[in-house]
């Protein structure tokens, strides 16, 4: 909150504005994209100032990965980075965490009846998962407040769960990113004065992915460990369902149309909610509310098991998406009929 006014001043002085001419932009005037600088600085300073050292989470690798992503995100916000370079650096960052930091899934936790997996499979699945979540948060950063509010819900939930499990260092790291984003949102809600840009969205995606892996691993059934939280993989899926479902949906739609899954468009769920006539704040609250309801639903029905809960979460997401589609088609038909009345 203290640093963003200075960032705004520098951005205006140096004309470091968003690309308002791009077809995906929702604003008609230049807005700085450097909010991620404040998020990164706040999060990093908090971690270092309070010496959040957890033997289960090597903070050195976390900060190394964050700095690498920060550098790439800053360059992208200022001058652009091609997609192949982005994915190469994201793979490098994920590999640091998985191979050096040993932040990885060590089991399939009974999903599809599979438990034990080899180190190679573990590393591949973990790297792909981290890259998925990093990109998912990047993709939902399309309207004011959505990525930041989703980050608060995701990491705020992880904070509560880690405190309940007595993993206080992990809770503190989740809470640090929540605090950093709260300070940013003061200037990001409509009318937005600043965007987080790739610098911010990539960072919050990275921290969310790391917390997800650590949460699932901390609740793994072993001979010496009875999990504090049942159906942790399904609960993690529920916590991250907003970014995950939107990303998988647009990727599948693009591939089905024969175009690259990385081609930008305005077919994300938040764009579709806006087309129904809702404002940025209303769309954000609707999507975040659905996220929270899904989390509560999984907590209430945890006895169904991971596979059953994941199927239920996915079906609920499909129903919500179909509901938006029906409303959009109804609105288009009404608009067409109204225009014909005066044709």
Residues 38-93 pLDDT 10s: 999 999 999 888 766 666 678 889 999 999 999 999 999 888 888 889 999 999 99
Instruction: Compute CA 215 distance to the chain's CA centroid, rounded to the nearest angstrom.
Output: 16
Point out which residues pair with 107 in neighbouring strands.
Answer: 116
Decide: residue 251, CB within 10 A, 0-12 exposed, 13-18 middle, 19+ buried.
middle
pLDDT at 261: 78
Q: What is the CB-side half-sphere exposure of residue 291 using CA atoms within 13 A?
A: 27
Whose structure tokens read 């081609």? 263
**Residues in CB range of 221: below 8 A, 6 or more apart:** 109, 110, 227
* Distance (Å, whole) CA 23 – CA 260: 18
Q: Which two tokens stand for residue 81?
A: 């980075």
pLDDT at 340: 53
Helices (H), the chain: 4-14, 35-49, 59-78, 83-95, 119-140, 146-164, 168-185, 197-218, 232-239, 241-256, 269-275, 280-300, 306-341
* Distance (Å, whole) CA 295 – CA 83: 33
Q: Which two tokens stand for residue 9?
A: 């001043």
Decide: residue 259, CB within 10 A, 0-12 exposed, 13-18 middle, 19+ buried.
exposed
Average pLDDT, the chain: 88
pLDDT at 12: 86
Using 70 as the pLDDT threshold, list the residues of the chain that sit under it.
18-29, 51-56, 110, 112-113, 222-225, 334-343
pLDDT at 55: 65
Q: Which two tokens stand for residue 300?
A: 């209430």
Question: What phi, psi does 149 have (nearest 5°)?
Answer: -65, -40
pLDDT at 19: 54
């Amino acid at each position: 909150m203290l640093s963003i006014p200075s960032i705004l001043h520098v951005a205006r002085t140096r004309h470091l504005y968003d690309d308002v001419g791009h077809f995906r932009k929702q604003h008609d005037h230049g807005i700085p994209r450097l909010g991620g600088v404040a998020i990164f600085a706040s999060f990093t300073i908090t971690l270092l100032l309070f010496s959040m050292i957890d033997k289960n989470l090597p903070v050195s690798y976390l900060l190394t990965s964050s700095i690498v992503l920060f550098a790439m995100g800053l360059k992208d916000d200022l001058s652009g980075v091609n997609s192949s370079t982005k994915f190469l650096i994201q793979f490098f960052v994920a590999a640091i965490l998985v191979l050096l930091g040993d932040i990885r899934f060590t089991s399939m936790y009974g999903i599809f009846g599979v438990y034990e997996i080899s180190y190679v499979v573990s590393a591949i699945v973990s790297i792909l998962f981290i890259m998925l979540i990093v990109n998912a948060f990047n993709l939902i950063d399309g309207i004011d407040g959505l990525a930041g509010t989703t980050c608060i819900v995701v990491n705020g939930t992880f904070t509560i769960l880690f405190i309940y499990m007595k993993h206080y260092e992990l809770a503190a790291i989740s809470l640090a990113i929540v605090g950093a984003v709260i300070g940013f949102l003061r200037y990001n809600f409509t009318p937005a004065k600043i965007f987080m840009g790739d610098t911010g969205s990539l960072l919050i995606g990275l921290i969310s992915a790391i917390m997800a892996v650590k949460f699932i691993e901390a609740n793994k059934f072993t001979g010496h460990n009875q999990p504090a939280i049942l159906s942790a993989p399904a609960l993690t899926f529920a916590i991250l369902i907003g970014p995950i479902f939107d990303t998988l949906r647009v990727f599948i739609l693009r591939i089905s149309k024969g175009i690259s899954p990385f081609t930008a468009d305005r077919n994300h769920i938040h764009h579709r909610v806006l087309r129904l006539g809702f404002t940025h704040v209303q769309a954000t609250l609707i999507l975040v509310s659905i996220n929270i309801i899904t989390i509560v639903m999984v907590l209430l029905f945890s006895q169904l098991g991971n596979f059953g809960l994941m199927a239920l979460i996915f079906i609920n997401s499909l129903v919500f998406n179909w509901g938006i589609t029906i409303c959009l088609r109804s609105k288009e038909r009404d608009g067409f009929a109204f225009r014909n009345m005066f044709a």
